Chains A and B, each alone.
Chain A
Amino acid sequence: MAGGHDHAHDHAHAHHHKESFITKYIFSQDHKMIAKQYLITAIVMGIIGIGLSALFRLKLGWPDTQFPILETLLGSDAAPNGELQSNWYLGLVTMHGTIMVFFVLTGGLSGTFSNLLIPLQIGARDMASGLLNMISYWMFFLSSVIMVISLFIETGPASAGWTIYPPLSALEELQPGSGLGMTLWLVSMTIFIASSLIGGINYIVTILNLRTKGMKMTRLPLTVWTFFVTAVLGLISFPVLVSAVVLLLMDRGMDTSFYLSEITTSSGQLAQTGGSPILYEHLFWFLGHPEVYIVLLPALGISSEVIATNARKPIFGYRAMIGSVLAIGFLSFIVWAHHMFVTGMSPFLGSVFTFTTLLIAIPSAVKVFNYITTLWRGNIKFTPAMMFCIGMVSTFITGGVTGIILADSALDISKHDTYFVIGHFHVVMGMSAILAMFAGVYHWFPKMYGKMMNKKLGYAHFWLTIISGYGVFIPMHFTGEGGLPRRYYTNTEFPMFDHMLDLNELISVFALIGVLGQLLFFFNFFYSAFRGPRSTQNPWKSTTLEWTTPVDHIHGNWPGALPEVHRWPYDYSKPGWDEDFVPQDVPLKEGEEEH
């Protein structure tokens, strides 16, 4: 080290003591380590979440077959002789939804990439508060553990659907899963939300205050913009879910009646009356809809970054992209009641929410067209990450157009809660967001581990994922068109649905292929983390600041002074430069215009 005085000073806090195993790998306050912790937790939760879907798809695909493996895995209460019980079916569906939406796509996606990329891409040494960041992760971990534990209790996990509408979720005598399982669900979610809020505040403060010299808001990579808007959405909407959850806990345990009214159960009338289940729906969806964008915006950010890098071309319409992210973020708060068109809510409200919901299609369309124009006359390198991102754009289009039908209150009358809805939101959330998450992992794996993932396995994983994904969710639109309701343990009680038996079998076959396909990823991830070939500093020849840090992680990110930013993050193939990328910290040449 030839470092002078300044250099040594910058190093001071990085090397002033040797970290123990515990402070380095477990209770770490370093954002890069926390990001990895989030990712690995999310992968484990993902294995559980997607595994549950495989189990209930067995029942839906082959309703008359017994699967001894179900008894092996779930126990003889849940699946005696391999015959899944209906309460457990609902429990699996509920846990699948909860785990995938909250623990994988919210905690996993935002938690991993916000933590990893915000400080690295804005040129900060770490998050504004490393301690809060650590607490945020450990609360996430704790809530994951509680949620998983609820799968192992005797009365089964929460089984009122991931939206846990009361009164079903409020009274144990209406459903066994509404006993201890639901209590654990509520406790876990409360902790999860606290974790999200702590994380979100940290992201916002970091982005606003710790940008390096020259990193104007209009020079931020789109990833950081989307993480910023996502954090704001979470900060505004998650507290509403906390209140909904707390009120539900009180209805369950303290004889209040916020949501309960005029209920007769097998043991007689409840004295609790005067509440409204519709109130719960409003509170839940006031979070629930922004939640969709909490999931989707980081996905859009990641794909903006990866597509620009691998098309070797600036992202088209940078300002329009920021504008549409802000517009989506704003609109996402005034569309929630489109989940409630047929709840008995005032039809006038239905008209208003149809209008606002369909407005969201405009910024979404702008994003799609901008992606496509970015590819136009590009010079595309199909890295595994790029493959996933193109897949992401395709699913965003597919899921977006079916959303137009569901946003229409009149059409929603005949589509509400059918498989059409399941198809639609799995294409956008289950595919778009997950594909982008995979893209993020493949793209930033060298940054996380200093190693490369295996490319060929990556390609195989991609094709298996997108083919099986579309194979599962496109047919669901057709079963939905046939009127098939969601959350049916079996469709065989209605002979009118028998013509869909083969279609449901097809869906299940694709689902199993898809689940098995993910094994390639798990293998590739863990193998490469330990045994992968070492990466170079900037393997994808990218412009953003994270690739100016050394391959081996150091506390504080940059060994010397923080880099200074001179240009926007998308100077790919800029005329006047020999290389096809110009990193952000390279000063403008004389007479060079920014963009």
Chain B
Amino acid sequence: MNSLLILVAVVAGVAAMIQLVRLNEVTSKVRGNHSEEEVTSDENNVMAYGWLVFMFLFFGFTIGLMYKYGYGGLGPAATVHGKELDWLLELNYWIILPVFFITNALLFIFSFKYRYNKNRKASYFSHSNKLELIWTVAPSAVLAIIIFMGLKTWINIMFDAPKEGDPVVVEAYAEQFSWTFRLAGENNQLGDSDYKLNCGPATFINSKGELTEINGNPLGVVSRDYVLAKYAEIDSSLAQLNRELDAAYSMEGGDYFEPDEYVQEKMKKIETLNILKYRIQSGIESKLNDSIVGMGEDDIYLASELHLIVNRPVTFKFRSKDVIHSAWFPHFRAQMNCVPGLVTTFTFTPNITTKEFASNPDVQAHYNNLNEIHNERLTSLGEENEKVDFNFILMCNKICGAAHHNMQRKIIVETEAEYEKWYECEDFTEKNPVKPRLDMNGNPVIYKGWRKDSDQSLVNEVNMAVMNSGKVETEVEPQVEVMVADSIQMDAPVMDTIIAGNVE
């Protein structure tokens, strides 16, 4: 019905327009001019005045927006380099806004002033070296200033700042669609990581010969036990895949009765797992000395908000699990892409605490207004009202899939005393399992509840479907734990030959 109405409206509109145009044509024929070719002086004047009116509307609109939204909502920068950036931005605006208004005004005013007059002839003014020299040199001079100031700031941010003031190291690990942080702990050095060790829940015999259960190694941190855990995961997947293939094989027919695609997919997975295992054996195992493994022991994992110390530089190391993400801290004026296969870095110094920032009168006024709008919307949706407090936010700023629009973390900047208190009181093991390997007494830690309270709700339903289809193997895995533990010992030589065959 709706589409019918739309169709009728469109047809009626087109018909009406045809009639109007015809009417217009008939009347101009009666007047006897080449109506579509010659612009009458009336029309020309209307258009000329139109430019003047447009100029006022356009400038008024722009200035009005500046007045109402110029504040932008982010408030002053909350970092040392951000202040410099804001200053630079303001300098640039002071240069480009006059250019914008003056050149646009000249364009519109000349259009108005030199509108057609049949008694006048345009001046035959085809070039002037002097004028052209002026407007080559003048922009060049202004641009020289802009380039110089810009590069000075850029060099400060990218080259000088990271070298100063003993920065705290934090890893931000991005994946579809959440952030995980890793604090470098007491030694301020992050343990090595390798994507090949990234694994889900696993049960395995650890390096001390004890049966251990972990909830996963989602950041791929390198340690002996994680290598063993990964072997266990790979082997259980291999066993599962082989069983599935066996089940699909008919001894009598001498062939698979599942479709070719099914068999090939399984075989390809087996090949991939064997390659991975070979690479771990040849690439990681040999490097497992204490200096690498030790660094990661005190690392702390956070799948929740991040705490930072005010006036203490922080160096972020960004990694990505799957696609390119971008860590965008709008209040800190900091941004860096997270690229799979690379570790990118950005160093900044937050110089105001969340509390101080929130108590700024401008910010308070803005948030009062924001709360009104926010709750108006919630009310209209029939949802319960809530209070939005000011917070520094980290968000994703590079298209990364279905829930790209909701990949966020709060960042809390506080004094050192407050930070210490948080650090002491926070039970990392319970809330967000922390220690990757052994606790202080050398006992294996059972990583229950990794990310239990965190991000699953954020994952968009659309992608859940995709993810679930891939998770089947790992979920079946606990049932085969004993067999897996055995297979590490027994199948190793067999595995090696398979791998060698695959690789060569």
Contacts and interface: CB of A to CB of B under 8 A. Distances in A.
A402 interface: yes
A418 B398 CA distance: 10
A158 to B, nearest CB: 12
Contacts of B388: 495-496, 498
A375 B35 contact: no
B21 A457 contact: yes
Contacts of B57: 467
B210 interface: no
A295 B99 CA distance: 24
A186 B331 CA distance: 38
Contacts of B117: 379
Contacts of B393: 494, 496
B135 A264 contact: no
Contacts of A262: 195, 340-341
Contacts of B339: 276-278, 343-344
A377 B399 contact: no
A265 B51 contact: no
A500 interface: yes
A27 interface: no
Interface in A459-509: 459, 463, 466-467, 470-471, 474-475, 478-479, 481-483, 485-501, 503
A369 interface: yes
Interface string B299-341: 0000000000000000000100111101010110111110111
Given A175-B401, A482-B74, A483-B330, A261 B341 contact: yes
Contacts of A595: 126
A401 B96 contact: yes
A492 B323 contact: no
A369 B340 CA distance: 46
Nearest to A503: B69
Contacts of A9: none
Contact of B96 (A394, A404, A523): A404
B18 A409 contact: no
B115 A380 contact: yes
B122 A313 contact: yes
Interface in B36-62: 36-37, 39, 43-44, 47-48, 50-51, 54, 57-58, 61-62
B37 A452 contact: yes
B132 to A, nearest CB: 5
Given A271-B276, A378-B114, A496-B393, A362 B140 contact: yes
Contacts of B211: none
Interface residues on A, range: 35 or more
Contact of A408 (B92, B377, B399): B92
Contacts of A575: 124
A69 interface: yes
Interface in A551-591: 570, 572-575, 580
A90 B404 contact: yes
B335 A478 contact: no
Contacts of B89: 405, 411, 414
A64 B378 CA distance: 10
Interface string A370-411: 111101111111110001001001100110011011001111
Given A176-B462, A347-B154, A501-B373, A320 B108 contact: no
Contacts of B106: 372
A358 interface: yes
A103 B97 CA distance: 34
A373 B135 CA distance: 11
Given A86-B405, A354-B151, A64 B381 contact: yes
Interface in B337-365: 337, 339-342, 344
Contact of B143 (A175, A362, A494): A362
B336 A167 contact: no
Given A482-B72, A483-B72, A413 B333 contact: yes
A276 to B, nearest CB: 6
Nearest to A404: B96
Contacts of A160: 399
A43 interface: no
Nearest to A90: B399
B466 A176 contact: yes
Contacts of B330: 414, 483
Contacts of A540: 37
B132 A478 contact: no
A501 to B, nearest CB: 6
A277 B391 CA distance: 32
A26 interface: no
A454 interface: yes
Given A347-B159, A416-B335, A483-B72, A275 B61 contact: no
A580 B122 contact: yes
Interface string B191-207: 00001101000000000
B157 interface: yes
B322 A478 contact: no
A456 interface: yes
A20 interface: no
Contacts of B408: 493-494
B80 to A, nearest CB: 14
A497 B391 CA distance: 12
Contact of A413 (B47, B85, B114): B85
A256 interface: no
B99 A401 contact: yes
Contacts of B50: 463
Nearest to B373: A498
B341 A276 contact: yes
Given A86-B460, A394-B104, A498-B373, A265 B21 contact: no
A264 B44 CA distance: 65
A322 B398 CA distance: 38
A561 B50 CA distance: 45
B240 interface: no
B31 interface: no
A7 interface: no
B123 interface: yes
A394 B101 CA distance: 10
Interface string A414-457: 10111000000000000000000000000000000000111111
A143 to B, nearest CB: 23
Given A167-B324, A168-B324, A168-B400, A372 B110 contact: yes
A174 B401 contact: yes
Contacts of A467: 54, 57
A225 interface: no
A489 B344 CA distance: 27
Interface string B75-119: 000000010010011001101110110011011101100111100
A491 to B, nearest CB: 7
Contacts of B69: 475, 478-479, 481-482, 500, 503
B357 to A, nearest CB: 13
A75 interface: no
Contacts of B14: 523
Contacts of A264: 175, 195, 198, 220, 321-322
A361 to B, nearest CB: 6
Contacts of A361: 139, 143
B157 A410 contact: yes
A483 B73 contact: yes
Contacts of B318: 344
Nearest to B193: A262
B373 A499 contact: yes
B121 interface: yes
B406 A493 contact: yes
A320 B336 contact: no
Given A354-B154, A413-B85, A475-B69, 13 more contacts: A72-B2, A85-B462, A168-B399, A262-B195, A268-B470, A314-B126, A350-B158, A366-B136, A379-B116, A414-B85, A417-B397, A467-B57, A573-B124
12 contacts: A87-B462, A266-B470, A276-B341, A320-B132, A358-B143, A401-B99, A408-B92, A409-B150, A467-B57, A481-B69, A483-B331, A532-B36
Sorted nearest first, the 4 A-B pairs with minimum C-beta distance are A261-B341, A483-B330, A267-B470, A344-B344
